[in-house]
Amino acid sequence: MNKKIKKILSKKNKSKIVSLTAYSKSIAKILDKYLDIVLVGDSMANVLYGQKDTHKISLENIIQHTLSVKMGIKKSLLVVDMPKGSYKNTKVAEKNAKLVMKKTKCDAIKLESDKNNYKIIYKLVRKKIPVMGHIGHTPQFKKKFKIYGQSKDEIHKLLKEAQMIEKAGAFAIVLECLAPEAAKIITNKIKIPTIGIGSSFYCDGQILVTDDMLGLSGFYPKFVKKFANLNRTIEKAVKKYTRDVKLKKFPSTINFLNG
Ligand code: KIV
């Protein structure tokens, strides 16, 4: 087993797994110093490409951004989201996942859960492709943003889903927008780590979209804590640059190449 994955597994019930998304080398290089997992998320569709959902991002887009992210990664586990349609059946999933692994040299791929993709996970894992699952709010298949696992029946269904994913051989599962009790029960009942987003502190680890937590994306649901306000910082810098150019303060003699 990949050493980085072993390390992630060993953190269950010991220390929190820390994870964020990246789409480029410059951000990945910073994240890599601190994080356990860097995810090249299909959230790039919304964040970078201004699309209304994640459905149209292509495998080529994902591979291209992963090649950039990979250049910034030395120690974290690099996980790549498989875009919608790229794992619609076992054959297609195997072909595309192999392509992603070969071209990007990432450590693992992530699949959102749809009714029957346990078989796909099983097959990929047997082909030595490490898989991270993703349940609850899965934007590739569900339109509405809501809280999952609010009734006993729903918790039971989500738990079954997580257990099937675990049985199929996934090494971790993202729990997106799960009620705290659901996240707690699933995290306690399965042996692989759970990585939460909007799913409380009961998960074994946390993930957020980096542009959201940096205050850059403009998307701030209740579960996002803004750890910075980069929109404001960047705007201030651009304003200052504009003023300096107009006032002929920039460039000055110290910026002359032959000065
Ligand atoms: O695409 C993404 O960024 C994700 C995370 C939000 C888990 O799937």
- pLDDT reported for residue 114: 86
Q: Kindly give the number of the ligand 1 atom that is closest to the alpha carbon of 207.
A: 7
For residue 116, the model assigns a pLDDT of: 72
User: How many domains does one find in the chain?
Assistant: 2
Ligand 1 pocket, residue 193 CB under 6 Å: no
Q: Do 217 and 234 lie in a common domain?
A: no
The total number of residues written for the chain in this structure: 259
One domain, residues 105 and 71: yes
Of ligand 1's listed atoms, the one at least distance from the Cα of 42 is 1
Phi, psi of 3 (to 5 degrees): -60, -35
218 in Cβ contact with 227 (< 8 Å): no
Active site residue 176: yes
> What is the distance between the alpha carbons of residues 119 and 11, in angstroms, rounded to a whole number?
27
Task: Indicate whether 124 and 249 sit together in one domain.
Answer: no
166 close to 194: Cβ distance less than 8 angstroms: no
- Which domain range does residue 147 map to? 3-228
Global pTM value: 0.96
Regarding the beta carbon of 81 and ligand 1, being less than 6 Å apart is answered yes
Q: 155: Cβ–Cβ under 8 A, 6 or more apart, which residues?
A: 149, 179, 181, 182, 185
Whether residues 12 and 118 fall in one domain: yes
Q: Output the CA 255–ligand 1 centroid distance in Å.
A: 41
**Residues 139, 102 within the same domain:** yes
Tell whether 17 and 62 lie within a shared domain. yes
pLDDT (tens place) for every residue of the chain, 259 residues total: 889 999 999 999 999 999 999 999 999 999 999 999 999 999 999 999 999 999 999 999 999 999 999 999 999 999 999 999 999 999 999 999 999 999 999 999 999 998 778 999 999 999 999 999 999 999 999 888 899 999 999 999 999 999 999 999 999 999 999 999 999 999 999 999 999 999 999 999 999 999 999 999 988 899 999 999 999 999 999 999 999 999 999 999 999 998 6
Q: How far apart are CA 204 and CA 8, in angstroms?
A: 10
| DSSP assignment of the chain | --HHHHHHHHTTTTS-EEEEE-SSHHHHHHHHHH-SEEEE-TTHHHHTT--SSSTT--HHHHHHHHHHHHHT-SSSEEEEEPPTTTTSSHHHHHHHHHHHHHHH--SEEE----TTTHHHHHHHHHTT--EEEEEES-TTT--S---B--SHHHHHHHHHHHHHHHHHT-SEEEEESB-HHHHHHHHHH-SS-EEEESS-TTSSEEEE-HHHHTT-SS---TT---S--HHHHHHHHHHHHHHHHHTT-SS-GGG-TT-
| Same domain (yes/no): 194, 239 | no
Is residue 30 domain-shared with residue 64, that is, in the same domain? yes
For the Cβ of 209 lying below 6 angstroms from any atom of ligand 1, the answer is yes
Amino acid 205: pLDDT:
98
CB of 41 sitting under 6 A from ligand 1: yes
Which listed residue (94, 154, 176, 235) is catalytic?
176
CA–CA distances in Å: residue 210 to residues 7, 20, 124, 206, 217: 23, 6, 28, 12, 9
- Quote the pLDDT of residue 1: 81
pLDDT value at position 17? 98
CATH number for the domain spanning 10: value is 3.20.20.60
Does one domain contain both 257 and 130? no
Q: Please check whether residues 86 and 165 belong to one and the same domain.
A: yes
**pLDDT reported for residue 219:** 86
Residues 244 and 132 placed together within one structural domain of the fold: no
Residues 136 and 179 in one domain: yes
Residue 110 near residue 132, CB atoms below 8 Å = yes
